[in-house]
Amino acid sequence: MVVYVEGVGMTKIDRHYDYSLKDLAANAAFAAIEQAGGVDGIDYLVFSSSLSSLQDNQLDTASYLATSLGLRGIKALNVEAGEASGLAAISVAKSLLESHQADKVLVIGAEKLNEFVSSKVYKQLQMLYDGDTKSFYNIGFAGDAAILMRLYMDTYNVDRELMSYWPALMHSNAKENPYAMLNFAIKPDKVAKSQILADPITLLDSYPLGDGAAAIVLSNKDMSSSPLAKISAIESSTGYGSIELSEDPLLFDSLSEAFRRISNIADTSNLDFIEIHDSFTITAMIILETLGLANRGKAAELVSTGYFSPGGKGPLANPSGGLKARGHPLGATGVYQIAESSLQVANKFPGVKANNAKKGLVVSLNGLGSSSYVALVEGV
């Protein structure tokens, strides 16, 4: 079944020291509600956040948030799936609409990665990876991705400089996006020279620690008035999420399965744009190859030729600037991706536009693919 996006709201991703999680959530939610024509009919809040319960020492946040937003009485629940939380929340909202448990759902994703010093946040972000092994070590958030990046470059004989075109493309796109945290251009050669987080991953291969919130109002067909877009399908799958367990870590098994599932129920060809989960340069390369948008070991080269750039032959990749440059406030990211994609197909995105865009694919995942979510957003 198809669900409709009635309204979207986003805050600029930034270091929002002056605003709490609820302030940011309210900012995004009120904008989405206004675009959707008011609060009438909204009967469910699905709230997505990864670290906020831990950071704020708060449980049942969705219910407290509902009352805080003046929506006391509606139904509410939290959804948490690590970095994939936002798209998981939208997937749950879609199911609620399809099963007629809800008529109109407000989905809010909010996260603050600047509440504490970075070393504390690195420790919190380590929670994205399998605690069975990782919790006994002090590897932070980039260790596993770094091992994977070196494995990729060794296996396919790809050099560091070729990997740097992706961050440069993301910055170039983000420059036009008023909601992006890093809205400035960089040259590819700057990537390798930036601060090393976990060799070979540098600061510019990684996402900035940002605070942000995004919200969307979703409805089923009966309630829909003048929607921006429709979400034709969402699928997901669990996977190894671990380089040591996976027999082929250079593909994400969960994404491969989720994409196979969505391709069975919807037409995923002729994509005008994609919004993918480029938490690191390496994650972007593996996603492009898992989706079959690039041959194995060739994604970096294809990116460098301009194939995914505005005006390129392929689908436009991350017109928002991606996690890399728009930013990645964990639990909010999937909601940003859907909000941006809805604006793209409505020809209202205030940044790099995919020409005459009718269809886009959104990819969100946690860690190295413990779960993957894919959604197809289309014009109405």
Partner 1 sequence: MDLSISRFWRKKEIIYKLNGAKCKSCGKVHYPPKNACPYCGSRELELVELPRRGKLISYTTIYAIPEGARHQSPIYYGLIDLGVTKITAELTDIVNANSLKKDMEVEATLRKTQEDRDAGLIYYVLKFRPVLVQK
Residues that bind partner 1 (CB under 8 A): 117-120, 122-123, 126-127, 131-144, 146-148, 150-151, 154, 195-201, 240, 243-245
Q: CB of 203: closest distance to partner 1 in angstroms?
A: 9
Whole-number Å distance between alpha carbons of 127 and 190: 30
The string of DSSP codes covering 181-206 is S--S---THHHHHSPEEETTEEGGGB
The answer to whether residues 7 and 34 touch, using CB atoms and an 8 Å cutoff, is yes
Q: Which pair of tokens denotes residue 79?
A: 């959804």
Q: CB of 380: closest distance to partner 1 in angstroms?
A: 42
Q: CB of 2: closest distance to partner 1 in angstroms?
A: 34
| Nearer of residues 11 and 52 to partner 1, judged by Cβ | 52
Q: CB of 254: closest distance to partner 1 in angstroms?
A: 12
Whole-number Å distance between alpha carbons of 96 and 92: 6
| Nearer of residues 147 and 214 to partner 1, judged by Cβ | 147
The string of DSSP codes covering 244-302 is TT-S-TTS-HHHHHHHHHHHHHS---S-SEEE---SBHHHHHHHHHHTTSS-TT-HHHH
Whole-number Å distance between alpha carbons of 136 and 249: 22
Q: CB of 250: closest distance to partner 1 in angstroms?
A: 11
Q: CB of 344: closest distance to partner 1 in angstroms?
A: 33
| Nearer of residues 72 and 137 to partner 1, judged by Cβ | 137
| Nearer of residues 137 and 184 to partner 1, judged by Cβ | 137
| Nearer of residues 6 and 253 to partner 1, judged by Cβ | 253
Closest CA to 289 of 245, 265, 255, 244: 255
Q: CB of 241: closest distance to partner 1 in angstroms?
A: 10
Cis omega before residue 200 (within 30°)? yes
Q: CB of 272: closest distance to partner 1 in angstroms?
A: 36
Q: CB of 76: closest distance to partner 1 in angstroms?
A: 28
Whole-number Å distance between alpha carbons of 290 and 369: 11
Residues 6+ apart with CB under 8 A from 322: 170, 173, 174, 275, 276, 278, 284
Q: How far out from the chain centre does Cα 254 lie?
A: 16
| Nearer of residues 173 and 366 to partner 1, judged by Cβ | 366
| Nearer of residues 47 and 122 to partner 1, judged by Cβ | 122
| Nearer of residues 50 and 177 to partner 1, judged by Cβ | 50
Count how many residues are written for the chain: 380
| Nearer of residues 22 and 134 to partner 1, judged by Cβ | 134
In sequence order, the β-bridge partners of residue 374 are 235, 363
Q: What does each C-alpha distance from 264 to 273, 351, 355, 373 come to in angstroms?
A: 20, 32, 27, 15
Whole-number Å distance between alpha carbons of 327 and 277: 11
